[in-house]
Amino acid sequence: MNIRFHKKFKKRYIKLPSQIQEKVDCAIFKFKNNPFESSLKNHKLSGHLKGKRSFSVTGDIRIIFEEWENYTEIIMLDLGSHNQESSPIPNDT
């Protein structure tokens, strides 16, 4: 699995408190080992994020991503609260 990070993801990650950054790092590690581990709650998104997927970091924090070729290629697109407005994400990384 090759994971890349969109500039929007990187900007939001840097602004997080260090304890949340550690949880994000742990969730990404779990995801890399098994993207469908039940604690991650990996699922398809709908609405303006249709075609994207997300998984949980904490009860409120999630990572939005795209996957290609059966999880061979991953782009982590955005990071934030479930309630946080997430705008459509362009395809550039």
The answer on pLDDT for 9 being more than 90 is: yes
Q: What pLDDT does residue 88 have?
A: 47
What's the whole-number mean pLDDT along residues 66-82?
Answer: 92
Residue 86 inside a domain? The answer is no
CATH of residue 40's domain is: 3.30.2310.20
**Which tens digit of pLDDT belongs to each residue from 27-68?**
999 999 999 999 999 999 999 899 999 999 998 899 999 999
Q: What is the pTM of this model?
A: 0.86
Residue 91 inside a domain? The answer is no
Residue 90 inside a domain? The answer is no
Residue 88 inside a domain? The answer is no
Domain count, the chain: 1
Residue range of the domain that includes 54: 2-81
Which is nearest to 65 in space by CA: 81, 48, 42?
Answer: 42
Residue 69 inside a domain? The answer is yes
Would you call 21 exposed, middle or buried from its count of C-beta atoms within 10 A (0-12, 13-18, 19+)? Answer: middle
Residue 77 inside a domain? The answer is yes
Q: In three state form, how does the secondary structure of 19-31 look? A: HHHHHHHHHHHHH
Residue 26 inside a domain? The answer is yes
The answer on pLDDT for 82 being more than 90 is: no
Q: CA end-to-end span of the chain, whole Å?
A: 17
Residue 64 inside a domain? The answer is yes
Q: What pLDDT does residue 11 have?
A: 96
